[in-house]
């Protein structure tokens, strides 16, 4: 009987085969890199064609941008990773979002003195960014803002996106907010404030846990303590006072509005 694959000879043969395969492996990788290079050139040409026909669509249509981003994400491509990427260079998506990033940073910086801790609603951010961009600038959607902010996280700045109610709170200053803090913020979104009783009732927490979370929010300047409220102490979240901010007008506008 002839048994295959056993014995010193067979092992040596196997090793030789492996080594040859590895060699071929080198060649294969080289080939594939060359192939990739060629395909890249072709893709670039395709993208150029697409851009010549539809570049405007990306710039003008927020819905289209969403579709575009989602498709990219599905196939595993990040069109915003680099300004040097094809997507950026040819479609101009990069500049749109990177500039938006700058505007978001500037708005958050400007507003920080107001709410003290760098926490604002997506709505307010949206309004302020639009105002800053002026009447003739391209339209910017909330989805655009979220994507730009996600990119800004790379700068290590403490930009955070916290879902509350049907919207988001945007954090622009590194403040340590863990799950507990986030959950309480979400609870407060309904009325703009929260109480210890509410936390106990909704979240079934012990008093001490609730108290600690609220103290932390006070310390970070995210919450204001109202001891004069009926019943028990109210903890207000100025970041949720969007209504107040949206009515702000300049002195000039006020003068013009008067009869």
Partner 1 sequence: MAIPLSQIVFIEEQSAGIGKSAKIVVHLHPAPPSKEPGPFQNSKNSYIKLSFKEHGQIEFYRRLSEEMTQRRWENMPVSQSLQTSRGSQPGRVRAVGIVGIERKLEEKRKETDKNISEAFEDLSKLMIKAKEMVELSKSIANKIKEKQGDITEDETIRFKSYLLSMGIANPVTRETYGSGTQYHMQLAKQLAGILQAPLEERGGIMSLTEVYCLVNRARGMELLSPEDLVNACKMLEVLKLPLRLRVFDSGVMVIELQSHKEEEMVASALETVSEKGSLTSEEFAKLVGMSVLLAKERLLLAEKMGHLCRDDSVEGLRFYPNLFMTQS
| Helices and strands in the chain, H and E counts | 11, 6
Q: Which residue's CB is nearer to partner 1, number 37 or number 247?
A: 37
Nearest-approach distance from CB 163 to partner 1, in angstroms? 21
Nearest 10 degrees: Cα torsion 57, 63, 66, 67: -70
Site string for partner 1, 9-28 (x = CB under 8 A): -------------x--xx-x
Site string for partner 1, 82-111 (x = CB under 8 A): xxxxxxxx----xx--xx-xx--xx-----
C-alpha–C-alpha distance, residues 175 and 87, integer Å? 34
Query: Which residues lie below 8 Å from residue 21, measured CB to CB, with a gap of 6+?
Result: none
Nearest-approach distance from CB 160 to partner 1, in angstroms? 11
Q: Which residue's CB is nearer to partner 1, number 31 or number 206?
A: 31
- Considering only residues 120-179, where is the footprint of partner 1 by CB under 8 A? 151-158, 173-174
With CB under 8 A as the contact rule, the residue among 76, 134, 166, 231 that binds partner 1 is 76
Q: What is the DSSP string of 48-94?
A: HHHHHHHHHHHHH-HHHHHHHHHHHHHHT--TTS-TTSHIIIII-HH
DSSP-based three-state secondary structure for 120: strand
C-alpha–C-alpha distance, residues 47 and 227, integer Å? 61
Burial 63-95 (b: 16+ CB within 10 A, else e): eebeebbeeeeeeeeebbeeeebbbbbbbebbe
C-alpha–C-alpha distance, residues 226 and 60, integer Å? 46
Q: Which residue's CB is nearer to partner 1, number 53 or number 255?
A: 53
Site string for partner 1, 175-214 (x = CB under 8 A): ----------------------------------------
Nearest-approach distance from CB 167 to partner 1, in angstroms? 24
Q: Which residue's CB is nearer to partner 1, number 225 or number 242?
A: 225
Give the footprint of partner 1 on this chain (CB under 8 A): 22, 25-26, 28-30, 32-33, 35-37, 39-40, 42-44, 46-47, 50, 53-54, 57, 61, 64, 67-68, 71-72, 74-89, 94-95, 98-99, 101-102, 105-106, 112, 151-158, 173-174, 215, 218-219, 221, 225
């Amino acid at each position: 009987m002839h048994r295959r694959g056993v014995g010193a000879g067979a092992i040596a043969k196997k090793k030789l085969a492996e080594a040859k395969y590895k060699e071929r492996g080198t060649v294969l990788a080289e080939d594939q890199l060359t192939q990739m290079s060629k395909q890249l050139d072709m893709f670039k040409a395709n993208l150029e064609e697409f851009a010549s026909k539809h570049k405007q669509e990306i710039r003008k249509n927020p819905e289209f941008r969403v579709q575009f981003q989602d498709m990219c994400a599905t196939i595993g491509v990040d069109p915003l990773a680099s300004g040097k990427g094809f997507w950026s260079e040819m479609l101009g998506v990069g500049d749109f979002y990177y500039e938006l990033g700058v505007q978001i940073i500037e708005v958050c910086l400007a507003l920080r003195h107001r709410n003290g801790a760098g926490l604002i609603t997506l709505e307010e951010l949206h309004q302020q960014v639009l105002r800053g961009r002026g009447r003739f600038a391209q339209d910017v959607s909330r989805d655009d803002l979220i994507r730009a902010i996600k990119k800004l996280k790379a700068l290590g700045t403490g930009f955070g996106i916290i879902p509350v109610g049907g919207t988001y709170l945007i954090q622009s200053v590194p403040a340590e907010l863990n799950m507990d803090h986030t959950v309480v913020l979400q609870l407060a979104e309904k009325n703009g404030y929260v109480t210890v009783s509410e936390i106990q009732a909704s979240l079934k927490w012990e008093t001490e846990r609730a108290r600690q979370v609220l103290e932390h929010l006070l310390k970070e300047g995210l919450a204001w303590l109202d001891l004069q409220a009926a019943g028990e102490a109210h903890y207000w979240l100025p970041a949720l006072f969007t209504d107040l901010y949206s009515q702000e007008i300049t002195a000039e506008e006020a003068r013009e509005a008067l009869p």
